[in-house]
Amino acid sequence: MGRRFAVIAEMRGHQVRQVTWEALGAVAQMAKDEDRVIVLVIGHAIGEAVDALSLPGIHMIVVADNDRYQYYEAETYFAAARTFVDQEKPDIVLLGHTAMGRDLAPMLASHLQSGQISDVISIEVYEGGFAFQRPIYAGKAFETKRFTQASKCWVLTIRPNNFPLGGQAGALLPGAITVPERRFLPEPPPTLRSIVRDVVTKMSGSIDLTEAKIIVSGGRGVKSPDGFKPLQQLALVLNGAVGATRGACDAGYCDYALQIGQTGKVVTPEVYFACGISGSIQHLAGMNQSRVIVAINTDPEAPIFEVADYGIVGDLFEIVPLLTAEFRKLLS
Ligand SMILES: Cc1cc2nc3c(=O)[nH]c(=O)nc-3n(C[C@H](O)[C@H](O)[C@H](O)COP(=O)(O)OP(=O)(O)OC[C@H]3O[C@@H](n4cnc5c(N)ncnc54)[C@H](O)[C@@H]3O)c2cc1C
C-alpha cells in the first residue's frame, strides 16, 4: 500500500498561496504512482481555490468552508486540521513555513504524538525513505533529518521559494485520477474560545516579501524615508518587492512589515539587492539563502560583501538609479 501525503493549503483571500503549490511540488518529489495526495482547504467562500486545486494527481480535496474560517485563528483551524488528519490518516502532512504553518504544524504534531521537521529547504529521496535538509543557527549550518518511525504520521513545514510549483504550473503529481473526490468538513465546533472579527493588514507592497523572486532591500544607508524611493523604483522595474533591515525600521525610514532577518521575515528570492546594509548576523539570518546576493555599500569592509555574489562599492543613491535605468532598457 502506498503512502498518503496531505497538504494543508494556505489562502490569501480567495486565492491559493504560492507556498501551497510549492508544498505540492515537494510532494511530487516524494510521491510514487501508488501513493495518494490529499489536500485540505480551509477558508470562507473558497470555491475558486478548490477548483484551482482540482488537478490530475490530487486524489481528494477536503473542504472546510465557513465564515468562521475567513481568517486564520489557531483554535478554529486546528479543529479543522485535527478532524482532517483523524479522518484521512495521512502518513505525511505538509504546510508552508509561514506564520500559519509555524503555528498550526506543532499543534498537529502534538495531537498526532509524532514529530515535526520545520523549515525544510530540500528533500533527498532514498530507498525506503526521505531525508530533509533545513538551515540551523540562523542559516550558518544545515542539518539533515529523517523520520525514524514510519508508522507515525509526520508533519513537515517547507520554506517558501525553495521547491518547484507542483500541479498546475509545475511538476505533475503521480497518479491517474483526473477529477479529485471532494469531501466537506462539518462546521467548526461551537465551543471555541476566540473568534477573529477582523484583520487589519499592513501592506508591505503588492508582492508578498516571502514569495518575491526579487527583493530590493534598504538599510540605514538609505538615510531617510525618502531614501527608499530609488529602491522602490528598482523594485518596480524588476517586478520585485521592497525589504529592509531592522536598522532602517528602527530609524523610522519604513514600516516593520518590511523587516527581514532573525526577528523579521525569512526570504529566499532569486535575487536580493542589499542597499546600504552592513550585513549583521541577524539580517543575514533572514536572507542568506537568497540565490544571488548583490550588495551596494560605500564601505568596502562591510560584512555584507562576504556573502554577496556581486559587490558594488559605492553610493547607493548613484548606483541604484543607474541599475534601474539599465534594467528598464533591458526589459522594455
Ligand atoms: C535580538 C536582535 C534581533 C535583531 N533582528 C534583526 C532582524 O531581524 N533584521 C535586521 O536587519 N536586524 C536585526 N537586528 C539588528 C542588527 O543587529 C543590526 O543592527 C541591523 O541589521 C543593522 O541594520 P543596517 O545594516 O541597516 O545598519 P548599519 O549596520 O548601520 O549599516 C548601514 C550600512 O550602510 C552603509 N551606507 C551608508 N551610506 C551609504 C550609501 N550612501 N550608499 C551605500 N551604503 C551606505 C554603511 O557603510 C553601512 O554598512 C537585531 C538585533 C538584535 C540584538
With cut-offs at 50, 70 and 90, classify the pLDDT of residue 124: very high
Is pLDDT above 90 for 83?
yes
Q: State the CATH number of the domain containing residue 73.
A: 3.40.50.620
User: What phi and psi, each to the nearest 5 degrees, are found at residue 144?
Assistant: -115, 125
Whether the predicted pLDDT of 174 surpasses 80: no
Residue nearest to ligand 1 atom 29, measured at CA: 278
Instruction: Using a pLDDT cut of 70, give the percent of the chain over it.
Output: 94
Find cell 524615508 and name the residue.
225
Could you report the per-residue pLDDT of 190-235, keeping only the tens digit for each? 767 887 888 877 656 667 898 899 999 999 999 999 999 999 999 9
**Cα 127 to averaged position of ligand 1 atoms, centre (Å):** 45
Q: Do residues 188 and 80 lie in contact, with contact meaning Cβ atoms separated by under 8 Å? A: yes
At residue 175, does pLDDT exceed 70?
A: no
Annotated binding-site positions: 220, 245-246, 259-263, 276-283, 297
- The whole-number pLDDT of residue 38 equals 96
pLDDT, tens only, 1-58: 789 999 999 998 889 999 999 999 999 999 988 899 999 999 999 999 999 998 888 9
Mutation test residue for ligand 1: of 220, 224, 305, 318, the one with most atoms within 8 Å of CB: 220
Domain extent at residue 109:
4-184
* pLDDT value for 140: 83
Residue 141 has pLDDT above 60, yes or no: yes
Which residue, 136, 137, 134, 139, is CA-closest to 121? Answer: 134
Of 23, 29, 18, whose CA–CA distance to 7 is shortest? 23
Domain count, the chain: 2
28/153 same-domain check: yes
Region 263-278 average pLDDT: 95
**258 and 169 housed in the same domain:** no
Residues 43 and 171 in one domain: yes
Q: What are the grid coordinates assigned to 120, written together?
A: 525544510
Name the residue of 249, 277, 287 whose CB sits within 8 Å of the most ligand 1 atoms, as the mutation to test its pocket. 277
Look at residue 327 and give its three-state secondary structure. Answer: helix
- Cβ of 221 closer than 6 Å to ligand 1, yes or no, is yes
**Tell me, what's the pLDDT at 177?**
61
CATH code, domain with 267: 3.40.50.1220
Mean residue pLDDT of the chain comes to 92
Which segments of the chain are extended strands (E)?
Answer: 4-8, 11-12, 15-16, 36-43, 60-65, 92-96, 116-120, 122-126, 129-136, 141-145, 154-158, 181-184, 214-218, 241-244, 271-275, 292-297, 310-313
Which comes out higher in pLDDT, residue 103 or 68? 103
The verdict on 233 and 148 lying in the same domain is no
**What is the reported pLDDT for 202?**
67
282 lines ligand 1 (CB under 6 A): yes
Could you list the residues known to form a binding site for FAD, using ranges.
Answer: 220, 245-246, 259-263, 276-283, 297
Residue 225 confidence (pLDDT)? 97
Confidence band for 173, pLDDT divided at 50, 70 and 90 = low
**By three-state DSSP, how is residue 62 classified?**
strand
Is 163 in the same domain as 17?
A: yes
Confidence band, pLDDT 50/70/90 cuts, at residue 184: very high
What is the tens place of the pLDDT at every residue in 51-78?
A: 999 888 899 999 999 998 999 999 999 9
